[in-house]
Amino acid sequence: MLAGWKQSVATVFVHVVGPLLVLDSVLTYTTWFLTWNCSHDYLATACTQIADPSTRRLLNALGDFQMANLIFRFMAFAGFFLDVLAGWYLVYVWRQWVRGHVGPLSGI
């Protein structure tokens, strides 16, 4: 078990990195559905069917990020580990909430 400042550092790390992992997983997989009918040529997404230039530019940027992230996830297998950690964090927060121990610096 950690005690003192080490517990505080670990708690802050878990509660900073955990939501970022969840956000990364959600953004990657939801972007996949947003750009399903766009062409993905290597890492260059082209959503040519969208008329508004700013929306097209945003979807193209999200598609480029999503493709690079998916390549990292599936080729390096590190992304699967990050998805597991994101799931662990969601389970951890859920269990803390059920027990009533949720706070900004609740113990690990």
pLDDT digits (tens, 9 = 90+) for 9-39: 878 888 888 888 888 888 777 777 777 777 7
Asked if 35 contacts 66 with a C-beta cutoff of 8 angstroms, the reply is yes
Indicate whether 1 pLDDT > 70.
Answer: no
The pTM for the full model equals 0.58
pLDDT of residue 12: 82
Band of residue 105 on the pLDDT scale cut at 50, 70, 90: low
Domain locations along the chain = 16-99
pLDDT value of residue 24: 81
Distance CA 88, CA 40 (A): 31
Q: Measured over all CA atoms, what is the biggest interatomic distance in the chain, rounded to whole angstroms?
A: 57
- Check: CB of residue 79 under 8 Å from CB of residue 73: yes
The token duo for 18 is 């955990």
Q: ∠32-39-53 over CA atoms, to 5°?
A: 90
Which has the higher per-residue pLDDT, 79 or 16? 16
Tokens 């505080």 -> residue:
8
